[in-house]
């Protein structure tokens, strides 16, 4: 019963996202939802861009193209360069909830993968992906050539 009571008090952050291409630029629209965040907590959001060449070339060095590297290239930042497109926080409302949409522009020619991470944070401590956090990887569609 103690574990269930603790889980009912734990805050969570979830993200959904969609990529839109307009001419030679792109935006990733991220919907951030959080619940049960304490009045001393916030939602930390990180958005990374990765080129397909980085994943193809560098993941070869990691366990001979291991699926973990290809599925989570920014988890292997020692090998793969993940450019930070956005790194910020969102404060919850008075009831500990977040419901906000963020648009992050990026160059679709330069970045073919988008990695979105969100986690509940308190002063000096983010729980990181895996503990009441959310991670989303997206492949960016190729821009249409006219």
CATH code, 58: 2.60.40.150
**Residue range of the domain that includes 87:** 2-139
Query: Does the residue 104 lie in any domain?
Result: yes
Which whole number is the average pLDDT over 55-65? 69
Query: Does the residue 146 lie in any domain?
Result: no
Which whole number is the average pLDDT over 34-53? 87
Instruction: Decide: 116 and 136 in contact? Cβ < 8 Å.
Output: yes
The pLDDT-based confidence of 103 (bands split at 50, 70, 90) is very high
The segment with the largest mean pLDDT, out of 65-69, 116-120, 127-131, 137-141, is 116-120
Q: What does pLDDT average to over the chain? A: 80
Which whole number is the average pLDDT over 75-93? 87
Q: Is the pLDDT of residue 145 over 50?
A: yes
Q: Is the pLDDT of residue 130 over 70?
A: no
Q: Is the pLDDT of residue 67 over 80?
A: no
**What are the CA-CA distances from residue 75 to residues 7, 40, 52, 67, 91 (Å)?**
26, 28, 15, 12, 26
Query: Does the residue 144 lie in any domain?
Result: no
Quote the number of domains for the chain: 1
Residue with the bigger pLDDT between 49 and 79: it is: 49
């Amino acid at each position: 019963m103690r574990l269930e009571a603790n889980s009912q008090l734990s805050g969570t952050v979830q993200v959904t996202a969609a990529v839109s291409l307009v001419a030679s630029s792109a935006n990733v629209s991220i919907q951030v939802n959080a619940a049960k965040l304490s009045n001393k907590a916030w939602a930390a959001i990180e958005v990374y861009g990765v080129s397909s060449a980085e994943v193809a070339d560098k993941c070869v060095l990691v366990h001979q193209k291991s699926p973990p590297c290809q599925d989570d290239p920014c988890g292997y930042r020692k090998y793969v360069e993940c450019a930070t497109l956005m790194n910020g926080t969102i404060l919850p409302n008075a009831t500990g909830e977040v419901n906000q949409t963020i648009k992050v522009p990026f160059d679709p020619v330069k970045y073919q993968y988008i990695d979105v991470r969100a986690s509940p944070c308190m002063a000096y401590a983010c729980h990181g992906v895996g503990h009441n956090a959310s991670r989303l990887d997206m492949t960016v569609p190729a821009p249409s050539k006219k």
